[in-house]
A and B are shown apart, each in its own frame.
Chain A
Amino acid sequence: KQEVTQIPAALSVPEGENLVLNCSFTDSAIYNLQWFRQDPGKGLTSLLLIQSSQREQTSGRLNASLDKSSGRSTLYIAASQPGDSATYLCAVPNYGGSQGNLIFGKGTKLSVKP
C-alpha cells in the first residue's frame, strides 16, 4: 500500500532563506508526483507536476526534484518570502488509479518570518 510522508510537519524560517521541503513515498512505481500549496481554509493550488521520467521541474523560485529509486522528492524554495507561508503537500497517484485518485502526505506547514 502506497504511503506518503512529509517531514518536518512544520518549519519556521526567516525571510530570504533558501529552504527544502521533503516528501517520501513507499512504492517507487509512481507515474508522477505533484506538489500543492494550501493557504488556511482554502483549497489546494497546484505548484508543480513531475513525471516519473523527469528528474526536476522548475517554476519561478520553486524547483522540485524526483528520485524514484530512493522514493523521495524535494521542493526547493529560493529566497523565501512571507507570502510563501502556507502548507505544502505532495501527492502521488494511487497504484492502479488515475490522476484524480491521489494519495497525499500530511503536509509541511511553512512559516516565513519578516
Chain B
Amino acid sequence: KAGVTQTPRYLIKTRGQQVTLSCSPISGHRSVSWYQQTPGQGLQFLFEYFSETQRNKGNFPGRFSGRQFSNSRSEMNVSTLELGDSALYLCASSLSIGHDTGELFFGEGSRLTVL
C-alpha cells in the first residue's frame, strides 16, 4: 500500500514568485493536512481538508492557500514568496476527520528554498 506522496521533493524559488505543492494521500484516506517545519518554529499546522472543504486553518497569512480534489489529492499554494517561507512542507493524511480516526501518516515532504 503506497504511503503519502509529495511532489516535488525539492525546489528553489526567488522572492515574489509563487509555488504549488502536491500531495496524494494514502488510498482510502479522505483527510489531508499540511504543516510547515522550520528549525526555529518546529512543526506548525497550516490547514486541513476533508471532502474538498477546508475544515481547520492555522495561523498563517492569506498567501498560504490550499485545495482538495474529489479524489482526495491536495495542493497547497504560497504566493509572493518571502525568505521566511523557506521550510520543509509536510503533508499528512488520515482516514477521516475527528479525534477517533486513528493515526496521522506523513509524506517525505517538499523542501522549499526561497532565494
Contacts and interface: CB of A to CB of B under 8 A. Distances in A.
A15 to B, nearest CB: 27
Contact of B45 (A42, A102, A105): A102
A104 B108 contact: no
Interface residues of B, number: 31
Interface in A28-60: 31-32, 34, 36, 41-46, 49
Centre residue among A36, A45, A98, A102 by max chain B CB count within 10 A: A98
B32 interface: yes
Secondary structure at the B interface, as helix, strand, loop or mixed, is strand
Interface string B19-57: 000000000000111000000001101001010000110
Interface of B: 4, 6, 31-33, 42-43, 45, 48, 50, 55-56, 58, 88, 90, 92, 94, 97-109, 111
Contacts of B97: 98-100
